[in-house]
Amino acid sequence: MVLTSKGISNGGRIPRKYTQDGQGAVKDVSPPLEWYNVPEETVSLAIIMEDPDSPDPANPSPNPFVHWVVVNIPPTMKGLPEGFAAKDVDDDDEAGEILEGGNDFKATGYRGPIPSSSEHRYELHLYALDTKLKVPKKPSRDRVLEAMDGHILAEAQLVASYGMENAQEGHNSYLAPGLPHISGPGRPETMKNHHNPMGQIHGR
């Protein structure tokens, strides 16, 4: 399974309009996403966007800072449009059952990066699941990870970066570590130790 975006290149920098810094009058817009090679037995898809480098890449917290949680995406959908918001979708639409969870800004839906003094990685994870998640209407990342346990058919990842340091220098060559996409049955071992209680803001 592969996760891509026409707005963000894997290993590149996040354009300002997808951040709280903004580009002119446009800011804090969720990026467009597309995915391919979803397993045939997939019942739903889920997305989590998080910052593993908060508060400081040199001394990151074990609790990633959460920017976006989206669950119960129908497997018939091939992506999400730029600026997607579940609250704007009609109930009878294909995307009517999609839920957006809470982020660590104590808001629901997408909130982009806030520039920091150092470059941070931002990871977008896409999960193909063999079930539709039974979670609250505004689920936390932890609640979603718990509900997904044992139901992950495949995972894909897109990693990009943002920070004032390279924004000022204009660097576009930052290559985030890790694989562009990860696929396989079960739950990745690296996800099991993540814990990020809502309300504990430790980075941006």
pLDDT score, position 41: 98
Q: Which domain holds residue 48?
A: 2-57+66-186
pLDDT score, position 117: 78
- Is 203 inside any structural domain? no
Q: Which two tokens stand for residue 200?
A: 């504990």
pLDDT score, position 143: 97
Distance CA 73, CA 193 (A): 25
102: three-class secondary structure by DSSP? strand
pLDDT score, position 24: 83
- Is 197 inside any structural domain? no
- Is 30 inside any structural domain? yes
Distance CA 79, CA 157 (A): 14
Q: If we measure between CA atoms, which residue out of 78, 58, 76 comes closest to residue 163?
A: 58
The rounded Cα 152 to chain-centroid distance in angstroms is 16
**Phi, psi of 144, rounded to the nearest 5 degrees:** -65, -45
pLDDT score, position 38: 98
| 120-129 confidence digits (pLDDT tens) | 999 999 999 9
Give the domain CATH number at 115.
Answer: 3.90.280.10
| 143-160 confidence digits (pLDDT tens) | 999 999 999 999 999 999
Averaged pLDDT score across all residues of the chain:
83
84 with 109: CB under 8 angstroms? no
User: Which positions of the chain have pLDDT values less than 50?
Assistant: 166-203
